[in-house]
């Protein structure tokens, strides 16, 4: 190995460095958020840039996993769709950041198209992962898919009604979009828990632990955003914005752990 | 009775026991694998098996049975005058075959005469039978032995004797398709599958698809590259233990000559433990067990029961929940 390290040492060091970088990244983000050393625009640029970098790192690591599989493998397709989803989130963060810097308030629009589209790719990746793991027959598969779609639709309609009737959403579009994220996040969280249970104790569980962390954070974000807490309390805003970037990094670290295992795992010491 | 030593050509006649020692020494030096036949003027026939120059067993062919002579009596058996000797080179697989022929007890013998078409039907019937058998097929031009384990074991091992020596091959229930048109004298030596020699054979036949399916499933989940490295690790483990096997992502090529069923079980159990230890860090213990469960369930009940009894048992790698 380069530097005379064994594959195992290399893997441990890469993951160790990544954890330190992630901690420094979070500290930097929190510090900039609290002390806001630049002008309003400058702070907004840096904060949004850090978020885009965190999302890009996660998507980048996911893309690296693709190279660990051969083109015909199903696992490669799973990670391909997952990577596409994460890159769409990068696009969402980028456009959101741009709008956040250039406009006073970001309304529902282009970033939401990227965010929402990403869930389609995640759902497809998860569908492939489920098929690979559970090996269901056609009947079982369609029954489960049908049940999942029906449950998610019911949940979506319920939430939409709550937002329209009780919370008093600004518009129907607002309610429709804001109902979508919690439902989609719940779906991701449920699948992540199922996958973690299956891969319990293995490195392959870590990306899904990251996804679970992300889903919960996003779910909380959706809640405080819809309830108006996000715009009122700066402490809560700081907490959830930081949690959001932490979730990206946790997801990235989880995926990195799998990448490191695929690249360096099960190699005999030199 | 199966006097298979009769097919080993005599190459040395009227030799002394001292010369026999010289011949044995020469085989040791050349790392000979195969059979050595010793015939006495009294009509007694003995046969040594050699594995890479090391004598494994000495068999004595009697009229109705074959004895295994204990190692401490070998010298007494050889200390005679005027005997004949001959050698037959075999691959390890052929040597395993001979062990079956010499050690598997025969419950009953059935003699029949078949043309090739009838033999095809009969061999299909035998391959799904509950009783294992050694089948001797003879005609003017063919002289071969087949191991038919029954219980739908898809593989039939064959040892064909000809002018050039013996040839080991692997076939299936349709092996007689290739036989030339003739009338065949077929003798079936029927055994019982509970005997350790047959058990060892069946376990080997069941273990191959088990490991291949385990590796396939691991490959689906973890990718071919990681599976390749997993196989390297398994091969290193087997090499360190001195086991003569090759492990690739297609499964195991087993060249090992196990002296006992216990030895074979110890190897298979060790290999599965090694697989579990290597696969668990990636997939987790639950998923690794899940893979084994899926694979065992996919196997037919007979082989599943066999593997569960000897490998996935509390004294082996541990039982798998949900597999009966």
User: DSSP readout, A89-135?
Assistant: HHHHHHHHHHHHHHSSS--SSHHHHHHHHHHHHHHHHHHHHHHHHH-
CB burial of residue A141 (10 Å; 0-12, 13-18, 19+):
middle
Q: Do residues B263 and B226 share a domain? A: yes
Query: Is pLDDT above 60 for A242?
Result: yes
- B140/B45 same-domain check: no
Q: Are B255 and B244 in contact (CB under 8 A)?
A: yes
| pLDDT, tens only, A113-158 | 999 999 999 999 999 999 999 899 999 999 999 999 999 999 999 9
C-alpha–C-alpha distance, residues B73 and B226, integer Å: 51
Reported confidence tier of residue A87, pLDDT bands at 50, 70, 90: very high
* Residue B68 included in any domain: yes
Smallest Cα distance from A125 to chain B, Å: 14
Same domain membership, residue B238 and residue B170: no
Chain B: nearest CA to A1, how far in angstroms? 16
Find the range with the poorest average confidence among A11-20, A115-124, A235-244, B217-226.
A235-244
Chain A: nearest CA to B283, how far in angstroms?
5
**Would the pLDDT of A245 be above 80?**
yes
Flag whether B299 is in a domain. Answer: yes
Strand partners of residue B185 = B113, B138
Q: For chain A, what are the domain ranges?
A: 2-264
DSSP A167: I
Q: Which fold has domain A2-264?
A: Rhopdopsin 7-helix transmembrane proteins (1.20.1070)
Is the Cβ–Cβ distance between A181 and A160 less than 8 Å?
Answer: no
Query: Which residue, of B190, B211, B238, is where some domain finishes?
Result: B190
My answer on whether B23 and B40 are in the same domain is: yes
Nearest residue in B to A257, CA atom:
B282
Is residue B209 domain-resident? Answer: yes
The set of residues, in sequence order, having a beta carbon less than 8 Å from that of B189 and lying 6+ positions away, is: B2, B104, B106, B109, B133, B134, B135, B136
**Residue of A127, A118, A242 lying closest to A185 (CA atoms):** A118
Residue A169 pLDDT: 65
Domain that holds residue B183: 108-190
Helices (H) and strands (E) in chain B, counts: 9, 14
Q: What part of A 220-249 touches B (C-beta under 8 Å)?
A: none
Sign of the dihedral defined by the CA atoms of residues A178, A181, A183, A189, in that order: negative
- A-chain CB neighbours of B278 within 8 Å are 266
- The count of other CB atoms within 10 Å of the CB of residue A227 is 11
Q: Where does the pLDDT of residue A218 fall: very low under 50, low under 70, confident under 90, or very high at 90 and above?
A: confident
CB contact under 8 A, A135 and B283: no
Give the predicted TM-score (pTM) of the model. Answer: 0.89
- Domain shared by B54 and B77, yes or no: yes
Q: DSSP 3-state assignment of B136? A: strand
Which of B221, B234, B236, B274 would you mutate first to test chain A, the one with the most A CBs within 10 A? B221
pLDDT number for residue A223: 76
From CA A176, how far away is CA A181, in angstroms rounded? Answer: 9
In-domain check, residue B319:
no
**Average pLDDT for residues A11-31, to the nearest whole number?**
96
Does some domain include residue B103?
no
Mean pLDDT in consecutive groups of 10 residues from the start of chain B, 324 residues: 80 90 95 94 90 95 88 84 90 95 93 90 92 94 92 92 89 81 92 94 96 96 95 96 95 95 97 96 93 94 95 91 77
Contacts of B284 in chain A (CB under 8 A): 198-202, 204-205
Using DSSP's 3-state secondary structure scheme, residue A19 falls into helix
Structural domain total, chain B: 3
B55 within a domain of the structure (yes/no):
yes
Q: Is residue A232's pLDDT more than 80?
A: no
ipTM value > 0.90: no
B180 within domain boundaries? yes
- Intra-chain end-to-end CA distance of chain A, in Å: 8
Which of A69, A199, A200 is opposite residue B223, by nearest beta carbon? Answer: A69
In this structure, what token pair is assigned to residue B207?
A: 């273990």
With CA atoms as reference, report the closest residue to A249 among A221, A219, A209.
A209
> Which of A198, A203, A268 is closest, CB to CB, to B281?
A203
Whether residue B284 contacts residue B264, with contact meaning beta carbons closer than 8 Å, is answered with no
Residue of B256 and A215 predicted with greater confidence: B256
What is the least distance, in Å, from the CA of B291 to any CA of chain A? 9
Chain B interface, Cβ < 8 Å to A? 220-226, 229-230, 232-233, 236, 278, 280-288, 290, 294
Output the pLDDT for position B323: 78
Claim to verify: residue B299 and residue B213 sit in the same structural domain: yes
Task: For B192-210, give the secondary structure using H, E and C.
Answer: CCCCHHHHHHHHHHHHHHH
Whether residue B275 lies inside any domain: the answer is yes
């Amino acid at each position: 190995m380069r530097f005379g390290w064994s594959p195992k040492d290399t893997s441990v060091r890469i993951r160790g460095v990544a954890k330190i970088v992630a901690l420094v990244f979070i500290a930097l983000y929190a510090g900039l958020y609290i002390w806001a050393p630049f002008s309003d625009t400058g702070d907004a640029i840096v904060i949004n840039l850090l978020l885009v970098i965190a999302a890009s790192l996660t998507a980048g690591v996911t893309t690296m996993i693709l190279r660990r599989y051969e083109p015909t493998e199903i696992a490669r397709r799973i990670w391909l769709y997952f990577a596409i989803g994460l890159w769409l989130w990068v696009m969402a963060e980028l456009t959101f950041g741009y709008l956040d810097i250039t406009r006073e308030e970001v309304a529902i629009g282009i970033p939401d198209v990227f965010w929402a589209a990403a869930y389609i790719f995640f759902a497809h990746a998860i569908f492939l992962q489920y098929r690979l793991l559970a090996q269901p027959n056609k009947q079982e598969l369609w029954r489960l898919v049908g049940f999942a779609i029906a449950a998610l639709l019911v949940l979506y309609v319920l939430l939409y009604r709550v937002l329209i009737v009780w919370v008093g959403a600004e518009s129907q579009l607002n309610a429709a979009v804001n109902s979508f994220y919690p439902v989609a996040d719940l779906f991701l969280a449920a699948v992540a828990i199922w996958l973690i249970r299956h891969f319990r104790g293995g490195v392959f569980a870590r990306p899904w632990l990251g996804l679970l962390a992300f889903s919960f954070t996003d779910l909380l974000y959706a809640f405080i955003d819809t309830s108006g807490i996000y715009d009122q309390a700066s402490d809560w805003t700081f907490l959830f914005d930081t949690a959001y970037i932490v979730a990206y990094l946790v997801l990235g670290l989880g995926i990195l752990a799998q990448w490191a295992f695929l690249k360096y795992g099960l190699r005999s010491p030199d | 009775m199966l006097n298979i030593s009769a097919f080993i050509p005599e190459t040395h006649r009227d030799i002394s026991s001292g010369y026999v020692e010289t011949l044995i020494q020469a085989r040791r030096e050349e790392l000979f694998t195969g059979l050595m036949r010793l015939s006495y003027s009294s009509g007694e026939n003995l046969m040594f098996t050699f594995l890479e120059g090391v004598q494994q067993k000495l068999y004595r062919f009697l009229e109705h049975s074959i004895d295994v002579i204990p190692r401490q009596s070998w010298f007494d058996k050889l200390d005679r005058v005027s005997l004949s000797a001959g050698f037959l080179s075999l691959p390890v697989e052929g040597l395993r075959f001979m062990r079956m022929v010499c050690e598997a007890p025969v419950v009953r013998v059935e003699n029949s005469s078949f043309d090739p078409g009838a033999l095809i039907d009969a061999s299909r019937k035998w391959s799904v039978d509950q009783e294992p058998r050694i089948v001797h097929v003879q005609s003017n031009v063919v002289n071969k032995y087949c191991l038919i384990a029954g219980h739908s074991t898809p593989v039939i091992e064959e040892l064909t004797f000809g002018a050039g020596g013996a040839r080991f091959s692997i076939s299936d229930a349709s092996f007689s398709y290739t036989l030339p048109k003739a009338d065949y004298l077929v003798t079936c030596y029927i055994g019982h599958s509970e005997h350790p020699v047959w058990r060892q054979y069946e376990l080997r036949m069941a273990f191959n698809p088990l490991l291949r399916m385990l590796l396939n499933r691991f490959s689906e989940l973890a990718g071919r590259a990681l599976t390749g490295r997993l196989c390297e690790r398994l091969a290193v483990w087997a090499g360190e233990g001195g086991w003569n096997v090759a492990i690739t992502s297609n499964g195991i090529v087993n060249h090992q000559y196990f002296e006992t069923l216990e030895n074979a079980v110890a190897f298979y159990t060790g290999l599965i433990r090694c697989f579990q230890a290597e696969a668990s860090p990636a997939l987790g213990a639950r998923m690794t067990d899940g893979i084994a469960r899926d694979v065992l369930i996919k196997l037919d009940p007979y082989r599943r029961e066999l593997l569960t009894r000897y490998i996935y048992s509390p004294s082996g790698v541990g039982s798998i929940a949900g597999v009966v």
